[in-house]
Amino acid sequence: MSKKPSSAAVITAGAPAKINLGLRVLGKRPDGYHNLLSLMVPVSLYDELRLELGSRGVELRCPNSDLPTDAQNLVYRAAQLVLDACQRDEGVRIELKKSIPVGAGLGGGSSDAATTLLAVNQLLGSPLAVPDLHPLAVKLGADVPFFLLGQWAMAEGIGDRLTPINNVPTFWTVLMHPHFQVSTRWAYENLTLTTGPNGSKFNILGDTSAGEMTTSHQRLLDRRQLTLEDMLPVLANDFEPLVFGHHPQLHDLKKTLLTAGARAVAMTGSGPTLVGLFGSEKEAAAAHDLLCHRDDITSSVAHTLDTTSLLTSKVV
């Protein structure tokens, strides 16, 4: 294949985490996936990727991490998908430095993959438009398209149908990550669903059905300017009863965040990370100061991002 000059020698990029402000599991689809309804929000906790062109194929390093560095890693697969789609002979060398906890419900792997799609495309001279990257993102996982979008969104379907939300304020959060992981597959396999007369599986706790938003969710889309109070009616996470039941210490951790001043606390994704919503940076920092000395959790202060150009990168 012919080679085209790249637009950059090296790219470093931050891959942000996400939080789910509420997560409703509406039912299981015939293809085995689940229909969801969730408000997804990027936040200012980042992994860091450094990418440069190589001779051939994908070379991935994950220093100070036990993550795989082959095709088991989403970053590796994302880079290979772009190289294959562009039919280019170049390779790419990638270094991934993790700060987002693994298996925490914060979407770190999906964000890393989306950032890699964008960065490798840019290294190759941007032969693909961002819409052309969307089918590649879907192949990598349900959350990856959200990180390509790079802003608040209402997620439906398996998480791939996204309605952007604009004019959002900055909210301050404390992310409390217990020192254990929750497998997303385990969470879905053990979530109790009700069997309907036609054999379909649906969530009897849900107050909506596939393709239909609740009034509270629709109100978020209709508001010109969101407030913290607008978030409160949609914070329910259908995984909370399951995950809290298997990890009862989460009940106490949630109470701890509320005692520290959080206006509300919710679990993100399939857990186990808890998100405390605070009224100001000062309140969030004060709560973090109370929590950061505990040895059973890792806590971080992060603010929501209204939009995030995933390649807020340094090109050298």
- The residues annotated with a catalytic role in the active site are 18, 143
225: how many CB neighbours lie within 10 A of its CB?
9
Contacts of 66 (CB under 8 A, 6+ apart): none
SS3 209: coil
Residue type, 25: V
**56 burial level (CB within 10 Å; 0-12, 13-18, 19+):** exposed
Task: Tell me if residue 300 falls in helix, strand or coil.
Answer: strand
Question: Residue type for 217, please?
Answer: H
Element (H, E) at 77: helix 74-86
Strand ranges inside 98-171, DSSP E: 153-156, 161-164
- 3-class SS at 273? coil
283, 181, 93, 14: CA torsion to nearest 10:
-10
Q: For residues 268 and 271, what is the distance between their CA atoms, to the nearest angstrom?
A: 6
Task: Using alpha carbons, list the distances in angstroms from residue 286 to 92, 114, 140.
Answer: 43, 33, 38
Q: Which of 262, 248, 251, 250 is nearest to 290 (CA)?
A: 262
CA gap 153, 123 in Å, rounded = 28
